[in-house]
Amino acid sequence: MASDSPGQPETEAAAPPCPDGWIFDIKRFAVHDGPGIRTTIFLKGCSLRCQWCHNPESIHPYPELMVHPQRCIACGTCLAVCPTGAHHATADGGRALDRDRCTRCSRCADACYAEALVMAGRRVSVDDVMAVVRQDAEFYAQSGGGVTLSGGEPLLQGAFTAALLTQCQAEGFHTALDTSGHAPWRVLTRVIPYVNLVLYDVKHISPRQHAQYTGASNRLILANLRRLSAVGVPIEIRMPIIPTLNDAQRTITATARFLGTLPNITAVRLLPYHRLAGSKYRSLGRANTMPDVAPPTLQRLQQIAEWMRPSGLTVLLPAMGRDA
């Protein structure tokens, strides 16, 4: 790159700027996304379509308008600022949204001080995120915590994820990557040098049933897990437990046998299905994909842990914070 001053010798080319990323939330003081007190950054976009997804606002890579009618104070601001007329008054004095006319411009959400309209998804730079992360550096140091990248699927934004993890480690923060592993191996190899812990999802051991419940086979996921376990980075397996879908003894024991053959698996954490995402589906104008499934009982989780233990695995119940 030429110097700005005439007569000066050419210097090395400047490093390319860090890419921006799309996130939908930053959760400070998180305690379930790795060791210690953490800041969890939730990235937008996911390549899977899990029927039990508890973050439906994470699925699409673009911003989405979430509507919370119970917060609406009927001020009429959304009607005034919407450029397409997507908002309209209802007969009972409330407000409604025609999503077919909505362009997700965010003008209504920006103007809604009652937060009845909220945009899920915003574009940020690495510096934007680091400004939040640095606020809790003392808590990380005292608790052995750090920063976790979650989603959605962080590996779908590989360049941004790598840049953010690199900066976190450069400033001495412990890093964790929460991933489904459903991404090309070359993307994983780009980020793994800057990761201290991987939180790796294993949703179903059967390729056919995994495809049925998530929209994609697990072959790439399991292949990546095998390769990742040989790299040496510690891996905590995350297993969502969905009654009637993946909690049968045959499925659990087959999963445990597979995991038991892999090195560097520190623990298997059972994540019980819950119904708390129902309101999110409504706010996005989508149908809840699993409205009638009941969460597993504590006794069932303990039974599942017992089925896995003969394979030499440490099994954790997240709500209890100790071995099952």
Identify the sign of the CA torsion 158, 159, 164, 165.
Answer: positive
pLDDT of residue 91: 87
Among 113, 67, 112, 106, smallest CA distance to 83 is for 106
Please write the tens of the pLDDT for every residue from 116-125.
Answer: 999 999 999 9
39: alpha, beta or left, given left = phi > 0 and alpha = psi -120 to 50? Answer: beta
Per-residue model confidence as pLDDT tens digits over 64-101: 999 999 999 999 999 999 999 999 998 888 889 999 99
Band of residue 44 on the pLDDT scale cut at 50, 70, 90: very high
* Alpha-carbon dihedral sign for residues 131, 132, 135, 140: negative
Instruction: Note the pLDDT tens digit of each residue in 208-256.
Output: 999 999 999 999 999 999 999 999 999 999 999 999 999 999 999 999 9
- For residue 96, the number of C-alpha atoms closer than 13 Å in the C-beta half-sphere is 8
pLDDT of residue 137: 97
Give the chain's mean pLDDT.
92
First to last CA, the chain: 59
Q: How far is CA 16 from the centre of its chain?
A: 27
Contact 268, 315 (CB under 8 A): yes
Mean pLDDT of 42-46: 98
Identify the structural domains of the chain with CATH numbers, from first to last.
21-61+121-323 (3.20.20.70), 65-119 (3.30.70.20)
**pLDDT exceeds 90 at position 10:** no
pLDDT at res. 93: 82
Distance separating alpha carbons of residues 181 and 228, to the nearest angstrom: 10
Given a cut of 90, whether residue 9 has pLDDT beyond it is: no
For residues 109-119, give the mean pLDDT.
96
**What does the pLDDT average to over 252-278?**
96
d(CA 270, CA 89): 45
